[in-house]
Amino acid sequence: MSTIDPTAFSAALLAWYDVHHRELPWRISPRQRAAGARPDPYRIWLSEIMLQQTTVAAVKAYYAKFLARWPGVSDLAAAPEGAVLAEWAGLGYYARARNLHACAKAVETEHGGRFPETAAALKALPGIGDYTSAAIAAIAFDEPAAVVDGNVERVVTRLEAIEAPLPGAKPLIKAKVAALTPNRRPGDFAQAMMDLGATICTPTRPACAICPVRPFCTATKTAEAERYPVKAKKAAVPERRGAAFVAMRPDGAVFLRRRPGSGMLGGMSEPPTTGWSARADGALGEGAAPFAADWRRVGEIEHGFTHFRLTLEVWCATVKNDPAVDGWWSKPEEIAAEALPTVMRKVLKAADIGSGEAKRPSAGPQPRGKRLHGTG
């Protein structure tokens, strides 16, 4: 059982946060809140979805682009899904983008364009789970919800010297956070815990000497902070293989298609690839090509997903006629705007095709961005 006094703990943490909080574009600072400003639920939600499995540094530019193009949830709800996927390209975990769009539409149609104000109601929306619902409810609506991300897990396991390994210890950690969360300023408390983990209670070489909650920390007293959190031994990462086929017209346009709406990289654009997945290899070799052409192997690329690593053979061909398969031609200057995930941009790079800088064998002009078989 914890011996931490929640009132004393939150007072010490919030006093530190008032001075040392991170300045983030989606945040309202303690001083702004004291002056009457309130967080925008749309901005909090957008940032939290983007921050799932992604660093703050990587998110900032995408957040700014999304906010500039779709400043409110109604704007995002009205956007075509393809446009949302294209703006998301490169940020990874693409199911988040589809759920983001679905959630915006649900907020617009089912809630009159206003986000629900409780964690329970927020959790019913597409793409919002335990953590995100708690974070939005606490930060935007001052619900004293237990907000637990990776930073908070690290802080709490050190505070309490929790020996149970992750992920099994997650329910215990959440209960500890719930016991510490104050009714006053719960949103600032949640952000303070995250900031503490990000800047002081770091994975390696934590700055225990200047930690504002050092007097409450068991791991500091035993000089064993870096032992925590204890993690279960990871299983070996599976290796998967497949092939990608980059067809290029004489004018440099590249043939792309859209992946199925569900599953890995759902709805994103790609040069045709074989049926690889997290559980199975795709076909290999020239015989797996989607249509006949003078294919030549130019190399291979590797890409790491959360639960497996993928190696793709890269095959190239120059074709003059439209292939009899679903897809479209993307001209060199159009490629940068396509909804291509990082792994597919690696494929194009291996084929010596950059974002808008394809090789250009001599040929006459071709129709701009011609789409075939209605799959646009």
Helices 81-88, 56-69: inter-axial angle, 10-degree rounding: 150
Amino acid at 139: I
334 catalytic, yes or no? no
Torsion sign (Cα): 264, 267, 270, 275: positive
DSSP single-letter state for residue 255: E
92 Cβ neighbours under 8 A, 6+ residues apart: 53, 54, 341, 342
**Cα gap 360→369, rounded to integer Å:** 16
DSSP run (H or E) holding 318: strand 309-318
How far, in Å, are 116, 119, 187, 234, 244 from residue 310 at the CA level? 39, 37, 40, 18, 12
Is the link from the previous residue into 167 a cis peptide, with omega within 30 of 0?
yes
**Cα gap 199→195, rounded to integer Å:** 6
3-class DSSP state for residue 301? Answer: strand
DSSP run (H or E) holding 20: helix 6-20
Which one of the listed residues 23, 48, 313, 334 is annotated catalytic? 48
The two three-digit tokens of residue 283, written as one number: 């076909």
Residues annotated as catalytic are 48
